[in-house]
A and B are shown apart, each in its own frame.
Chain A
C-alpha cells in the first residue's frame, strides 16, 4: 500500500473507531435485543479526564508484554503492580448469552459470547477481564451498549470464569459508586419488565 493510502486508510479506520466511541454504536447492540444505554456516569462519550486520586488508568494493551514470547503471554510489570490496587479501565461489556449473575466480561472490542458454544467464547480477546459486583452477586446486569468506564479494585491472576466460558487474566471488583449505578439500572429495568408483563 502506498504511504498516502495507508495514512488515509488509517484515518478512515480511526474515524470509525472514534465514531464507535462517540455514540451508542449500533453494532454493539446488533443481534442483542434488550441492549440498553449504560448509566450516564459510566458511558464514555468523549475523552476522559485524569483518573481520580488513588486510581490508576489501565488500558487493555497494557495487560501483556508484546511481542509474545515463545510460550504463553506474560503480564506486564504495570499489571502485576496493580494487583490489589484501584484502577479505571474503559471497554465494552461482552454480550453474554446466557447472561452471568454478579458480573460480566469487559473487552477492548464489542464482542458476543455464548457459553453453550465455545467457538463463540473464542471471540473474546485474551486481554478481556472479568468484572464483579460485590454486593450484586445475584444481579444480572443488562447488556450495555458502547464504551463504559469502570473503577474498582484489580485482582491479577488467571481464573476460569465458568459462567463466562473463559479464562480471565484479572478480575475487577467494582467500586461502590459504579456498582450502585449498575444495580439501580438493573433494578429499574427488572421492575419495568415485570410491570409490562
Chain B
C-alpha cells in the first residue's frame, strides 16, 4: 500500500463513517475460524473443528481494530509455529462499498446492504483476514493463534483450537468404494412405516425386513448443526462429509462476516480428500433438483444453498477437485442457457440461470484450493459443457437405457426433470398406466432411484481407484414436510430398493462400505395406529376420519398388497396405517390419498388440481389438525436418526455418535483400513 494512503487511511475511514465518533470499544477479534469453544468461551472442550490428516481448510479471523485504525498485516500460528503461506492465499477484506450505503452514520457500523462487502453491525473499519488452503498432518489437538497488526503497531490476538483425528494405518483391509445412501428426513418412524407397508406384520413380527434392516451394524446419530439443535439439509449432509459443523443453509464452508456467499472459509469434502489422496471418483445421485442442499453438500462450497446457477457450475468446474463422474437427478433449469440475462427478450426455454445466483471466487480461494475461478455466465449451456467434458447425457429413462446398451459410459449426467423429480407414488402410477400427474408435470419417463443407482454404480466402478457415491431419497423429507402420509412411505420403499442395489453391489465387491442414514428427522412423524374404518367408509364420509384412529390393539396389523413392481397396489387399504406429526403445521386430514401431490416448493408445472399446501388440502372435507409450528408445512426435528452400515468398515458404526464422526469413521475405513 502506498505510504501516503497508509498514513491517511485511518482518517479516510473516519470520514467514511460520516465523521461520527466510532465505537470506542477496545480492538478485538470477534470471530476465529475454524470455530472453537476455546475461542468462544475459553473452555478447551469440546473441540468443535476436527479434520483428517492433510484435509484442507481455511484460517480466518474477523478483526475489529481500534477506532480510526486499520489492519496492516496478520499472521496465523499453529502450536506457536508460523503458518507458511503459499502465494496468493492471503486476503484482507474490508468494507469497500459506498459509505452512504454501507455505513450507518449514527452508529458507525456496517449496514450489510446490497452492494456492500461486510455483514451488518460491525465497526466500519473491520477486517476479515484469511489464509486459504491450510492443512495439518499431525494428530492431536492444536492451538490456533492469530495476530493482527494495526498501522499504529498495536497487535490484536486471539486463540482457538482444532483437532487432527489420526488414522490408524495397517488395521486391515481398506474400503475402496464408499456408498452413502441418504434418506432425506428419514427418522426411525419413516423406516418403520416403510417396513409395515412393504413387508407387513403378523402376530407381532415383521414378515420381512427392509434392505436397510439387514445391515449388520446400526447406530444413532446426533444431527445438530453449528447454530441449532435442529439442522436443515445443508449441514445435515455436509457435516457427514466434512467432519465439521456448518451453519444452516451452508455447504462445505464455515460461517463468516462477509456478504459474498462464495468466499466463506472452506473445508475439504470427503470426495475432494479421497480424490486428492487416492484418485477416487464422485457420484451424486438424487431424486431432488441436483442443486438442492443434500447433493450440493458433497462437492460445492457456498454459504447460500439457494444459489442454483453457481452451485451447478461448480459441480462441473471443480470436477478436478472432487472427481465428479456421475451427476443424476432433476434440476435441468439450471443447465439451460439464459442467453442475455438482460431485459431483452430471449427464446423462452425455462432457464433460471441468473447472474444474481452465479459464482466468481476471490483470488485467494482460487490460489489456496486450485479451484476454478468461476464466471457470471447465465448464457452458459451447461449441458453442452458437461458433454464437452466427456459426460454422456440422459434426459429420461429411455435415453438412460439406450446409453447403456451402447456400453457403460465413463461419465454420466442425468437430468430427468426441470426441478425435483416426481415422487414414487406418482411415477409408479404412471408406469401402471395412470400418467395423470407425471404427464402434467411434463416428464412422463423418469427413472426410479434404484435404476439410477444401478446405472451410477456401473459407471463409478469403472474407476480402478474406487469411488464415493452419495445416493439420496430426497422426497421422504419433502413429502413429510407436506404431511402426505400416502406419498412419503413410498419414498422410503423407493429408497430401500436403491439400498438393495447398493447392498448387492457390495456383496459382489467386498471392498465396499455402504452406509444408510438420514440428515435429520422431518415432521416428527409417528405411527399412531391404524384406521378402524374401512377405505369405503372413509371415502363415503370423510368426516368419519375424526374418529378413525385405532390405537393400541385396535390398530391390529395393517395389510398392504405389494405388486410385482415392488410397490403397494394401493395405499388406501381398509384399516390403513395412520401417521401423526409432532412438528406439524395446520392441516386438514381425511386419511385418504390425494390424487395430486401437494405443491412441492420446487416443482415446475404444478397441475391446477395440486393443493397449494397442507393447510388448504382437504379444506372443507377433512377435519382440522391444529399445528404447533407456524407456516404451512411440518418442520425438521432435532431427534437422533438411525444409521446402518454394511460391508468393509461397517463395524465402526455403532453406538450413539455425532454426525461429524461419520467422516472420521469413513476416513479410517478408506485410508487406514478396518479388520
Contact = CB atoms under 8 A, between A and B. Distances in A.
Given A31-B631, A67-B442, A10 B609 contact: yes
B83 to A, nearest CB: 36
Interface in B210-259: none
Given A4-B539, A12-B621, A118-B304, A75 B602 contact: no
A159 interface: yes
B594 A12 contact: yes
A13 interface: yes
A186 to B, nearest CB: 23
A51 interface: no
B346 interface: yes
A66 B417 CA distance: 12
Interface residues of A, number: 63
Contacts, number: 208
Most buried by B among A1, A79, A125, A165: A1
Most buried by B among A67, A108, A127, A167: A167
Prevailing SS type, chain B contact patch = loop
A57 interface: no
A5 B346 contact: no
A39 interface: no
A52 interface: no
A160 B341 contact: yes
A126 B632 contact: no
A124 to B, nearest CB: 9
A140 interface: no
Contacts of B344: 157, 159
Given A1-B429, A27-B613, A158-B338, A15 B352 contact: no
Contact of A167 (B338, B571, B613): B338
B418 A13 contact: no
Prevailing SS type, chain A contact patch = mixed
Interface residues of B, number: 81
B444 A67 contact: yes
Contacts of A14: 609
A125 B605 contact: yes
A138 interface: no
B572 A1 contact: yes
Contacts of B631: 31
Contact of B535 (A5, A117, A123): A5
B442 A5 contact: no
A71 B383 contact: yes
Interface stretch (B192-200, B305-313, B661-669): B305-313
10 contacts: A5-B535, A5-B592, A6-B434, A20-B612, A67-B439, A70-B396, A71-B395, A73-B418, A108-B606, A157-B346
Interface of B: 289, 304-308, 332-333, 336, 338-357, 378, 383, 393, 395-396, 399, 418-419, 429, 434, 439-440, 442-445, 535-536, 539, 542, 570-572, 590, 592-596, 599, 601-606, 608-613, 615-621, 630-632
Given A118-B357, A165-B354, 8 more contacts: A5-B535, A6-B434, A12-B595, A17-B609, A109-B612, A127-B605, A157-B346, A159-B344
